[in-house]
Every structure is written in C-alpha cells, then in structure tokens.
Amino acid sequence: MSDRIKKFLSSGTLFVWFCGTAVAASLLMVGGVLLLIMVNGLGFFWPHALVEMTLTDGTRVLGELKGEEVIPHSATPEFPEGKTRVRLKVGNRDLYGLDFRWVDTEHIASADSPKDVAAFERREWGNFYGRIREVSRGEDVVATGNQEGWKALQPLIEQANDLQEEIEHLQRDVIGDINFEIEGTRLRIRELELRGQDDAREVAELQAMTSQLETQYHKHVETLRALSRQLDEYSVLLVETNGQEKRLPVGQIVKALRPNDMDFFEKILRYFMNFWSVLSEEPREANTEGGISPAIFGTVMMVLIMSVAVVPFGVLAAFYLREYAKQGLIVRVIRIAVNNLAGVPSIVFGVFGLGFFVYAVGGTIDNLFYPEALPTPTFGTGGILWASFTLALLTVPVVIVSTEEGLSAVPREYREGSLALGATKFESMLRVILPCALPGILTGLILAVARATGEVAPLMLTGVVKLAPALPLDHHFPFLHFERKFMHLGFHIFDVGFQSPNVEAAKPMVYVTTLVLVMVVIVLNLSAVALRNYMQKKFKASAV
Amino acid sequence: MSSRIDTLTQPHHTAARRAQTAETTMASSERSQDRIPKITVEDTDFFYGEKQALFKVALTVPANQVTAFIGPSGCGKSTLLRCFNRLNDLVEGARVVGRICLDGKDIYDPSVDVTDLRTRVGMVFQKVNPFPKSIYQNVVYGPQLQGIRRRSVLDGIAEKSLQGAGLWEEVKDRLHHSALGLSGGQQQRLCIARALAVNPEVLLMDEPCSALDPLSTAKIEELLHSLKDQLTVVIVTHNMQQAARISDLTGFFLMGELLEYADTKTIFTNPSDSRTEDYVTGRFG
C-alpha cells in the first residue's frame, strides 16, 4: 500500500494537479474581474425599461428598476425568508433631491410598464422620467398632451442639439482661438518690457492688435448670446408621475427616449449609439454624465510619450551594462539597484517627479524661456510631459531588465561572426545584436506600457486633473502642448467613483471607465505585441 | 624563406622532443622549397588568465596550402587559430606572449588595426552562424562594412562569393529569403561565402564540418581544394580522415604543445613521435 502511495507521489501526478489548479485559479480570478467589469460596464448602455408603480399609500413611483434585495434583519414568523425591497432610479433630482429610491415590496399595490413614459437625458440635474404636458414657443403653446408633445418635441431636440454644437464650436474654436491670440500678444508685450526693448511703436502695434482682437471677441460673444436665446426659445412642460410639473428649455435636453415603446432592434441601435457617445463626448455634470473622450485621449497620449522616452533610455542603459561595462561587483550592484527600483511604490516616483521634473526642471525652464508668463507657471506645474517622464522613470527598470535578457540571448556566434568579418564592436551591435535583441526590447516595452497605463498615484502629483480645459494636442502651433494638464482614465475612475457628489448615479460611469481603461491597455499591448511579431518576422524569419 | 628557417632553428629552452619537432618541420619544409610563408608563429605562449593554453608554439603556415591542426579536445588548436585573427582579444584575461606574423608583420603590434586584420584573415566557425537576415544581406555584410554601397557592386560580390562557395546555383532564386531557411550544409557554405566576400588572404576554419552530414561535408571538402588557389586555408578538425584527405600540412597538438608539424603524408604514414602515431591510428584521443 505504502508502495503505491510512494509511487503515486513520485510519479508527479499530484504536482501536475497542483500546477493545473494554480493556473485555473488565476484564470478564474482574471476572468471574474473581466466579467464583473463587462457585465456592469456594458449593461450601462442598454436602454432600460421604465416601471411605473402605484404604492399602497396612493403615491406613484416611476423609474428604472435597478435591483431587488432582502431587507436585512427583516425575517419574521410570517416571512421566514425576510421581506424584500426594490431599488429604483427615479431621476428628477431637482424635484426629489435623490436619484435613487428604495421601495418595500409589500408597499407596492401595482406595477406597470406604460409605453408613453419617457426618459429625458438633460444637460443638468441628470435624467427626468415622466410625461409631456405641453410644448411652447415663448408664451405660445405649440402642442399639448403627451402624444402631441412627443411628436412636436423630436425635431426640436434635434435642432437644439445642432445649435448646441454650433455654440460649442464658437466657444471652443473661434473664441478659444481669439483668446489664445490675445494671450499671445499680451505675453509678447510683457516679453518686450522685460527685455527693455519696449519701444513705443511695436508695443502700440501689438496693443492695436489686441484691441482689434477684443472687438472680434465681443462680436462673437454677441452671436453666442443670440444663439443661447434661440436655444431657450422653445420650452417643454414636463410632468412627473405624481403630477408635479417642471418647465424645461428644449436646449437642456440631450435626448429623449421612450424605452418601453422601443423594439429590440431599436434598443440595440440605441445601445451602440450610447456606447459611441460615451467614447466620443466630453464629460458633463462633474464627470458623472456625458463621455470620457478627453480621458481616453490623455491616457493614450501619455503612454505614447512615455514609450518614446523610456525605450531609448532603457535600451542605452542596458547596452552599457551588458556590452560595455566590465562585469564585476559594481555592475552587479547596479543591476540589483535597478531591479529594486521596480519595487519602489509609485507614489514615491510621483513625489520625485513633482520635486525634480515639475519644480526643478520645469521651474528652470520657466525662468529661462517663459519669463514673460510668470508668475503663472508654464512648465513649472504639472503637465503631460512631466507625468510621462515620471512614468518613464517608473518603468525604465522593466525595459532595462528585458533588454539585458534580450542581449544575453543573442548567441555568441553572431558576435564572433560579425567581428570576424571586420566589423567593429559598435557595428556588430548596431547591425546584428540590436536586431536580434529587438523582441526582448519590445517585450520590455509591452510590460512598461501595461504598467504605465494603470498607474494613477504618481500622475495625481504630476499633472492629471479632474477636468482639463484643453487637450494636449490641438491646431495651435506647436500642436503638441507638453505643458498642459490632462485627463486620465485611471484618475477618472477614482474621481467619479469616490469624489463625486452623487456616487450612486456615477457608478455605471465608473464601470464604463474601467472597461474602457482595460480596453485601452489591451489595445496598446496588442499593438506592441504586433510590432514585436512584425520585427521578429523581419529579423528572425524562420523560413521561406 | 630564410626568416622562416631562422625562426624554426631558434634555440629553444625545451626538452629534446621539441628540438625533434623543429627538425621534422624543417625537414618537411625543405622538401617543398616553393612554399612561401604566410603566417609565422614564433615561440608563442598563450594564457587565459592564469591558465596557460599554448606552450612555446612555433610553426609556419605556407601560402596557398591547406594546413590542418589536429589533436584531442582542449589541446589548444582552436586557441591558436583564434590568435590568427585576434578573436581571442574578446576573452577577458587572454594574453599572447611571442610573435605571430602575417606576411612578416607582427599582428599583435599596437599599430595594427584589428578590423583591418580580420578582413584579411577570414573565419568560418564550428557552430554554423549565418545572421538572421536574408542570404543576400549575409553575404554583403562584410563589403557593406567596408563602405561599399553601390548596389551593382554588391550584387557582383554576392554572386562571385556564392559561386566561390558553390552555393550560387542553389540559392540564386531566393537571395532575399531568410538565411535560416537553408539546410545546415548550405548555411555553412553561406558562412564561407560571407567570409569570401571580403576577399581575405587567409581563411581560418574551426571544425567547419563537425555539425554537418557526410554529404555536406564532402561538398565543403571539395570546395577547399578549389579555394586553395586563391587563399591560404588553416583548418582545425577532429576528423583525422578529413585532415588526411584535404590538407597539405598537418600539425598535431597535445596539451597546448605542438608535438609534430609536417607534410600530411609524413604525419599519417611515418610520424616521428610515438604519441602522434598513437593518435592518428586511433589508439587514443
């Protein structure tokens, strides 16, 4: 018997089982996380049905059903399993004060999904659920009743959205450009003053330009006012389920839906439209509504800048350590130090980035190159460049280690073969060893990208903000604005999930942002993997 | 010729058998008066750090001949070969004491440009090592290093070198395919072509056939015969039949010493040292 046990143990079957279990557990955990994020994140875009309930006290509740649970400690002899309650998103924050409401199941007299109720997504105050009483233009009523009003409202909302777009264009692009130029001339005047070259003629010219720009500015502001008035021209009188009324300018409505009246395909279409609008729009309402496009943009751009910074830096360091440095105690110590650097908490890198990049380097740059803007800092404050550099510093050990591994994997025969043909060490490295080590280098890049995309703590000190006024890339020369602050998906999760005044309403947004962040990580990684495979194919081409 | 005789007749602080070796060598060289010395090694010691790998080696490699070094593993034959193109410089703590001359000029002189030397003395390795590039890129690697950029010139060199290595007919339609797609024997001939492309005067071969099948080996041996007209070949081999088949001169190494160096025929039929006889007849090694 003991023989059989001994045989079983030494056969390694048990070990294989342990290994398999470890893999399965890892897969289960990763899969679980992804599934949780996907279910919660992807469910957000679905147009949920609206439920109208009449309660036992005669009041009514209208909203999206968000879940049901057993009330804690509610088990009594009559209800051995406890009483239940449902959670509804009732919206109408301006009227009720809260978006969500718990209703005990025993208080529900009847529940129904009427087709004529609508969900209005508003620019402020979140969703409104209810019916339309009348649509009016100024004082004149255009349509009355829910059905008429709904028909009248559709084209008006479209018009209003077009107008809104025009206003945004005017505000951001036209007026933004003028402000940019005014600021430019102001800085130019200040610069001339600082240099003591403020001869009257040039300053006067600049001042004339400024006043000309200001005239333009005022003209555009007038147009803007007119457009805003136009936006408020139509209004709609809404009524919530208990009869409370709310007058709303049509311009306040982003979109109106009757989810109970939509068929499956309409819902699917709406689903993808919602998805796209989150990806492409800017946030509203303290980030809890609208889209996340600036955060996606900021994340990707930061990772790209980081990659551009970290690869040459890490590769050069690895080449020196592996190819040139005399292998000995010092190199060993350096290698250990580099490996340990990867384990330093990222917030420490954040503090270093703030002290070194932002204050020391950025401050010096400001003093030397942007004195006219002081005391407003240009580079002497957090910005996308400093955040990227801080992350580059954070990830450089990974690149060094994998590049070194790549280099040590290059067969000695290649080096000797190249040298024997009369190549210098440098030529051999450039033409034979570097191409062979490229897959290793790119593996380092992949790991660095994966690490950097998910990092938030150091960014909070070096340039990430809740809401950035402008993207770090635009049509103003020099197009890339490294000094600008930026938004980031990771920080967005933190901000929306934990810093917003309306956490419950923001929860779906947190999941969506998480989902997008995971997708961005995957996409960035896959592109790095594709690049590595391409390089491998190009340089290692297995055959024919 | 006289310098060579001088070298060989220099007084040695060695045992009697070394004198005997020198005599044998001299005798063989006298037999072939037309041989011009290409590489001369004078009383050379070689150290890997503390460990001495070569002891007072002295020999002359004649031009346009195939010279084979034989001996058991670790006897120093590869070490000596790698001294000829100074590839041992890469090894930390490697040190040469003595004189190794190419065409009468000391290659360890500080004024010698190592990369220059290596273009004159090409090498083919035991482990087949084409670069992970295309066939064409492998062949023109050396010429490109020398600054040749004109496509037409490179094309010519590639064709000539591949023909020289007997590979042209097999690869001319897939020059731009990866070199790693070739068979082992083809890869080794590609390495020879790559070495020929820089137009060397000497070709060092470090057990070039030890990883190849008999057919590929036969092809490369055939190749050596034709190469002899253009350059000097020094080959290290474990295979005594191969040494007997292809070489004009053979040196037998044991424990870092050159025991016997003479015409191949002499070594294999009438060796003067009993240990040489034991080795070539397969009694040890």
A317 and A221 in a common domain: no
Name the residue ranges covered by the structural domains of chain B: 2-280
Peptide bond into A478 cis (omega under 30): yes
How far does the CA of residue A402 sit from the closest CA of chain B (Å)? 20
| Tokens (6 digits) for A12 | 């390694």
Higher pLDDT, A544 or A121: A121
Q: What is the number of other CB atoms lying within 10 angstroms of the CB of residue A261?
A: 15
A489, A513, A531 - which closes a domain: A489
Residues of B in contact with A424 (CB under 8 A): 115
A470 and A362 in a common domain: yes
CB neighbours of B50 closer than 8 A, spacing ≥ 6?
none
A89: in domain: yes
A391: in domain: yes
- Measured CA to CA, the distance from residue A44 to residue A41 in angstroms comes to 6
A390 and A340 in a common domain: yes
A148 and A105 in a common domain: no
Cβ–Cβ of B129/A432 closer than 8 Å? no
A144 and A96 in a common domain: no
List, for residues B113-142, the tens digit of each pLDDT value.
888 899 899 999 988 888 888 899 899 999
Helix ranges restricted to H, A140-292: 146-169, 176-195, 200-231, 264-280
Q: How would residue A31 be classed by pLDDT, with cut points 50, 70 and 90?
A: very high
Q: What is the mean pLDDT of residues A319-337?
A: 90
- Give SS3 for A66: strand
A449 and A320 in a common domain: yes
Predicted confidence (pLDDT) at residue A534 exceeds the cutoff of 90: no
- Domain ranges, residue A54: 50-117
- Please indicate, yes or no, whether the overall pTM of this predicted structure exceeds 0.90: no
- Measured CA to CA, the distance from residue A359 to residue B51 in angstroms comes to 57
Interface residue A422 vs chain B (CB under 8 A): yes
List, for residues A61-79, the tens digit of each pLDDT value.
899 888 888 888 877 887 7
List, for residues A292-317, the tens digit of each pLDDT value.
889 999 999 999 999 999 999 999 99
A452: in domain: yes
* Low-confidence residues in chain B, pLDDT < 50: 1-33
The CATH homologous superfamily to which domain B2-280 belongs is: P-loop containing nucleotide triphosphate hydrolases (3.40.50.300)
Cβ–Cβ of B115/A418 closer than 8 Å? no
CATH of the domain at A101: 2.30.30.720
Cβ–Cβ of A420/B178 closer than 8 Å? no
Cβ–Cβ of B174/A544 closer than 8 Å? yes
A117, A144, A168 - which closes a domain: A117
A257, A283, A307 - which closes a domain: A257
- pLDDT for residue A316: 93
A142 and A73 in a common domain: no
Residues of B in contact with A328 (CB under 8 A): none
Residues of A in contact with B133 (CB under 8 A): 435, 539
Residues of A in contact with B127 (CB under 8 A): 411, 413
Cβ atoms of A281 and A148 within 8 Å: the answer is: no
- pLDDT for residue A399: 93
Cβ–Cβ of A416/B180 closer than 8 Å? no
B129 vs A417, A427, A431: nearest CB: A417
Distances (CA, A) of B60 to B3, B5, B28, B36, B85: 10, 10, 11, 9, 15
Average pLDDT of chain A?
A: 86
A505: in domain: no
A146 and A112 in a common domain: no
Residues of A in contact with B191 (CB under 8 A): 417
How far does the CA of residue B209 sit from the closest CA of chain A (Å)? 16
Residues of A in contact with B134 (CB under 8 A): 541
A281: in domain: no
A218 and A100 in a common domain: no
A310: in domain: yes
How far does the CA of residue A313 sit from the closest CA of chain B (Å)? 26
Taking alpha carbons only, the member of A279, A464, A488 closest to residue A354 is A464
Number of Cβ pairs < 8 A linking chain A and chain B: 81
Distances (CA, A) of A479 to A372, A472, A483, B161: 21, 8, 12, 52
Predicted confidence (pLDDT) at residue A21 exceeds the cutoff of 50: yes
Task: Work out the percent of chain B whose per-residue pLDDT is above 90.
Answer: 12
A427 vs B145, B191, B198: nearest CB: B145
- Measured CA to CA, the distance from residue A506 to residue A46 in angstroms comes to 16
Cβ–Cβ of A416/B146 closer than 8 Å? no
A518: in domain: no
Taking alpha carbons only, the member of A124, A158, A118 closest to residue A289 is A124
Predicted confidence (pLDDT) at residue A38 exceeds the cutoff of 80: yes
Higher pLDDT, A18 or A506: A18
B145 vs A422, A540, A543: nearest CB: A422
- pLDDT for residue B67: 92
Q: Is the dihedral of CA B272, B274, B276, B281 positive or negative?
A: positive
CB neighbours of A98 closer than 8 A, spacing ≥ 6?
A90
A152 and A106 in a common domain: no
Residue of chain A minimizing CA distance to B195 = A421
A141 and A72 in a common domain: no
How far does the CA of residue A428 sit from the closest CA of chain B (Å)? 10
A385 and A432 in a common domain: yes
Residues of B in contact with A414 (CB under 8 A): 129, 131
Predicted confidence (pLDDT) at residue A348 exceeds the cutoff of 90: yes
Q: How many domains does chain A have?
A: 3
